[in-house]
Structure 1
């Protein structure tokens, strides 16, 4: 990873006037803006279904070409612990009827595939989402972990904004940024609208490009494309009551804010302060190709991460129904 730029301001200073939703859904809330996804929003998502076509959005785990992960994390490792070899050597268990089987385990970061962040995954100033003490992350998260999100599930109307195709590219460039105004312009060009309480899905082409380029080039001077911080963008997300942001990047935003050099300010402004759930490393290219073909960019979005108690995140395989 490239040397981190030296920030000109602290996160607390940058976001000192940023809106907060702490307490909006009670002092014990751990799912934040997902509270916006009430039964009416589920039905609005169902109403977007036109053809019954389905798409899954998780990247492969243990792909032969590797798995895209945040620099410093290791890719998933899969190990066979039982297979035909054990039975051929008479080392496998014996069952009535001579049944044989295979078994394996995976060692991976919970955020090493398509995944949901827990609302308490990132913080500043010693407080997580909803004002919980950052000390509650010690050992295992006891507040704002991923389990409440997984227990609840995520269902609503999704809208895809294909920024890469809007800019005439297969994949956005390293460090290429866009704003909420760019999202609105892309939506208009697609012939769709971003509506209040939509699950917002943004394609940059970044994750899809991982499988078409050398790893060294993908990770060199690591700087993802993505949304860039501004007070106006944060206010727009808040006013639109966006419950969930989904992207095909590892961090859902440009890695370092190009103005202040701060790392991942939207994780703090959107997730920590507003309770907006972040979903990262989604596979969006097949869905985007189909949307471009039939011009339908809205659909039913459903997802439920693994129910990992105390987890700072968990893998997920979202299902989209058009």
Structure 2
């Protein structure tokens, strides 16, 4: 039986710009704020998230670091053994194994978290800061170090693939605001102020089953959100967004805008967003635990000036 796919309805650039203005958080937390929506994650909300820990089960939401080049991984990680146990460092036989890792801070095969200096729109970063703040040396403002104390809070998985009763959404399919609300109702959860939205399309399941594909513009594409979900996130005061894929529907449905979700979230809202998660294990854990909420602990690397960093966010049940 042929599936009926759900490509997103088209959006004009004029409507996109109006939406951008409507969800702006510039100045909400002061002119120099560089934490954005993480300001919703107050100590009280973090403490409340800890009460969700019942079984003590922990689940990584990261893809294993990918060292193999492919159509969705043009910049594979470089991992070298720099010292092996065949060279003892003392006469009594003591030895150390050591290695070296070099990798991109972004990409479709690297689970990473974006900094607020990562995306600009019309020459501006979040909070109206000039894009020129980011130079070849990085930038002090809006760097990933603003998240150095961790991203900890209540995570809620909205599983679009489960809702549609498929293993994964196909490239180019979009999930709307109405569908996110339907998933909430089906799963018996509701996202609110300071929550972390964990969003599954089955992107990683498709890659494991069918192999890698070019999911960028000009390639096969990927499933993601319709832009009408962004005002919903703004209204709900969601603190962070953790999708498989990167949340974007490719090809884009917005006129002349290949990646509309990123500027709306990062530049307008100052939202903390992560890309390229593996949500297959956490989806299974949610089914087995019988709940779709859990504590999230994510620890970005403390890399001065950086536009993002690989990380390993963990769900705790």
**TM-score, normalised on structure 1?**
0.86
From the superposition, tell whether residues 272 and 217 of structure 1 become closer, same or farther in structure 2 (CA, over 3 Å).
closer
Distance 1:94 1:304, change over 3 A: closer
Alpha-carbon separation, structure 1, partners of 2:71 and 2:56? 32
Q: Aligned residue for 1:39?
A: 43
In structure 2, do the counterparts of structure 1 residues 235 and 144 end up closer, same or farther at CA, with 3 Å as the change threshold? same
- C-alpha distance in 2 between matches for 1:183 and 1:11: 21
CA gap of 1:281–1:299, structure 2 versus 1, over 3 A, is same
- 1:135 correspondence with 2:132: yes
Is 1:24 aligned to 2:25, yes or no?
no
| Counterpart in the other structure of 2:4 | none
Whether 1:81 aligns to 2:86 is: no
Long gaps (5+) in structure 1? 1-6
Distance 1:307 1:144, change over 3 A: same
Q: Distance in 2 between matches of 1:29 and 1:218?
A: 34
Is structure 2 residue 212 aligned with structure 1 residue 215?
A: yes
2:269 is aligned with 1:269: no
Counterpart for residue 233 of structure 2: 237
How far apart, CA to CA, are the structure 2 residues paired with 1:32 and 1:100?
46
Q: CA deviation digits over 1:202-245, x for unaligned, max 9?
A: 11110232232233476782311011113xx3322111111100
Q: Does 1:303 align with 2:298?
A: yes
Is the 1:33–1:274 Cα contact (8 Å) retained in structure 2? yes
The 1:300/1:67 distance shift into structure 2, 3 A limit, reads farther
The correspondence of residues 122-201 of structure 1 with structure 2, limited to 5 A, is 122-139=119-136, 140-149=138-147, 151-201=148-198
Q: Measure the CA separation in 1 of the matches of 2:71 and 2:272.
A: 19
Report the aligned-residue RMSD.
2.4
Distance 1:69 1:314 in 2: 21
> Of the candidates 50, 62, 83, which is equivalent to residue 54 of structure 2?
50
Give the structure 1 partner of residue 112 of structure 2: 115
CA distance in 2, matches of 1:298, 1:244: 14
Query: CA separation of 1:192/1:143 partners in 2, compared to 1, >3 Å: closer, same or farther?
Result: same
- Residues 13 and 21 (structure 1 numbering): CA distance in 2 closer, same or farther, change over 3 Å? closer
Contact 1:82 1:103 in 2 (8 A): yes
Q: Check conservation: 1:177, 1:227, Cα contact below 8 A.
A: yes
Mapped partners of 2:80, 2:300: distance in 1: 23
Judging changes above 3 Å, is the alpha-carbon distance between structure 1 residues 28 and 98 closer, same or farther for their aligned structure 2 residues? Answer: same
Secondary structure of 1:17's aligned partner: helix
TM-score, normalization by structure 2: 0.88
Residue-by-residue CA offset, 1:154-199 (whole Å, 9 max, x unaligned): 1111100111111011111001101122111012111222233210
Question: What residue in structure 2 maps to residue 104 of structure 1?
Answer: 99
Instruction: Give the 3 Å change call, closer, same or farther, for CA 186–15 of structure 1 in structure 2.
Output: closer
In structure 2, stretches of 5+ residues that fail to align are 1-10
Q: Deviation digits for residues 244-282 of structure 1, max 9, x if unmatched?
A: 000111x22213432525211121112111111111111
- The question of whether the paired residues in 1 share the 8 Å contact of 2:62 and 2:311 is answered with yes
Q: Distance in 1 between matches of 2:201 and 2:30?
A: 35
- Report the equivalent of 1:228: 226
Summarize the Cα distance change of 1:273–1:16 in structure 2 as closer, same or farther, 3 Å threshold.
closer
Give the aligned partner of residue 287 of structure 1.
282
